[in-house]
Amino acid sequence: MSLKNVRLEVMQFLEKDVDALIEKYLIPIDTIWQPTDFLPNSEGKDEAFFEEIKEIRELAKELPYDFWVVLVGDMITEEALPTYESWLMDVEGVDQVGEGGNGWSKWVKQWTAEENRHGDVLNKYLYLSGRVNMKEVEKTTQHLIADGFDIGTDRDPYKNFVYTSFQELATYISHNRVAKIAKSKGNKRLAKMCQIISGDEMRHHHAYSEFIERIFEVDPNQMMMAFYYMMKQKITMPAHFLRESGGKIGTAFEEFSNTAQRIGVYTSRDYVEILEKLIARWKIDTITNLDDDAEKARDYLMKLPQRMYRLADRMKIPENSYQFKWVEPAVSK
Ligand SMILES: [Fe+2]
Ligand SMILES: [Fe+2]
């Protein structure tokens, strides 16, 4: 049987548990938080509404230029959700056609519905903050969706679930750090918002990691090879094609990523720590009965964090901020 057929069989085998996994890891729509829980109530009295907006704008002044760049980049990454949903719908074993689609497509749809609130709440907050050039931000979002992405996973469910396990943890870290910075500047509203988003990301991370655990149980050799392959080629960030208006595809990504490193929201050490967490979570060191190739892949994976820490420590981040079109320099600290 071809590798592709085995993967399909494994996906079908695991599909019977998807409903239970949805129940375990996703929260029913009527009870989960919504963006409006963290935003001024526009249906309320004029005065109260305007007071809250005034407060949002005042507190926003306390946060520095690089912070806004990172928050904008994080928001745009969330807003490119159509790209992620369409990518995942195309993975082998996911099928949305037919009555309600198959179990895996149900997962993708309900995961997307949860994720959709992230870009939504951040977008509304940024609009109210008065600190960013929303039209430029909107153009970048549209560009990013139009440019799509290629994360090197093909349609392979194993590789895609490695990718999502990694990325959900990466977004947990960055939203969580943003929340901490906001809190340190007295911005409780923004801190709560980012904190609750990071909670969603953590839940999603646990879900995708469990998918991988289950695949390891039934197809350890190929699962090991897929993990190896993804880490060897490195996990590309979902916004790697980021550009500003008038810019070439991908040209804004490096500066965005430098900015996030500079303020400690997401660093190259974080990348390695995520890798270590995945290795520990999937108990890579104790998986037995592997074939030769998978054994070699396991060896490579086990040694990779130490090698990557050495590289990460040597990395130099530019000290000066890069001027994006998204955030006005005049009011920046
Ligand atoms: Fe998200
Ligand atoms: Fe996420």
Q: What is the mean pLDDT of the chain?
A: 96
Top-confidence residue, 329 or 326: 326
Would you place residue 330 in the very low, low, confident or very high pLDDT band (cuts 50, 70, 90)?
low
The Å distance, Cα 228 to ligand 1 centre, comes to 25
Beta bridge partners of 132: 327
Catalytic residue, from 33, 154, 206, 210: name it: 33
| Number of the ligand closest to the Cα of 175 | 1
> What pTM value is reported for the model?
0.96
Task: Report yes or no: 93 and 6 within 8 Å, Cβ to Cβ.
Answer: no
Instruction: Give the pLDDT of residue 308.
Output: 97
Residue 126 backbone dihedrals phi, psi, to 5 degrees: -60, -40
Top-confidence residue, 2 or 167: 167
Catalytic residue, from 15, 74, 79, 115: name it: 115
Task: Report yes or no: 25 and 203 within 8 Å, Cβ to Cβ.
Answer: yes
- Token reading at 278: 């995945």
The Å distance, Cα 26 to ligand 1 centre, comes to 13
The identity of residue 154, as a single letter, is: D
Catalytic residue check, 115? yes
Instruction: Give the pLDDT of residue 283.
Output: 98
**Residues 137, 73: Cα–Cα separation, whole Å:** 9
Map tokens 């910075």 to a residue: 181
Catalytic residue, from 118, 143, 175, 205: name it: 118
- 3-class secondary structure per residue, 306-318: HHHHHHHHHCCCC
The Å distance, Cα 287 to ligand 1 centre, comes to 31
CATH number of this structure's domain 33-39+47-331:
1.10.620.20
Handedness of CA 123, 124, 125, 129 (dihedral sign): positive
Domains of the chain, by residue range, sit at 33-39+47-331
Tens of pLDDT, residue by residue over 120-166, are 999 999 999 999 999 999 999 999 999 999 999 999 999 999 999 99
Catalytic residue, from 79, 92, 156, 201: name it: 201
| Number of the ligand closest to the Cα of 201 | 2
pLDDT surpasses 50 at 303 = yes
Tens of pLDDT, residue by residue over 260-275, are 999 999 999 999 999 9
Overall residue count recorded for the chain in this entry:
333
Nearest to 119 by CA among 60, 73, 162: 73
Instruction: Give the pLDDT of residue 331.
Output: 47
**Residues 165, 265: Cα–Cα separation, whole Å:** 19
Nearest to 94 by CA among 104, 86, 84, 85: 104
Nearest to 175 by CA among 134, 119, 112: 119
Q: Which residues have CB less than 5 Å away from ligand 1 (the ion)?
A: 78, 115, 118
Catalytic residue, from 143, 175, 204, 205: name it: 204
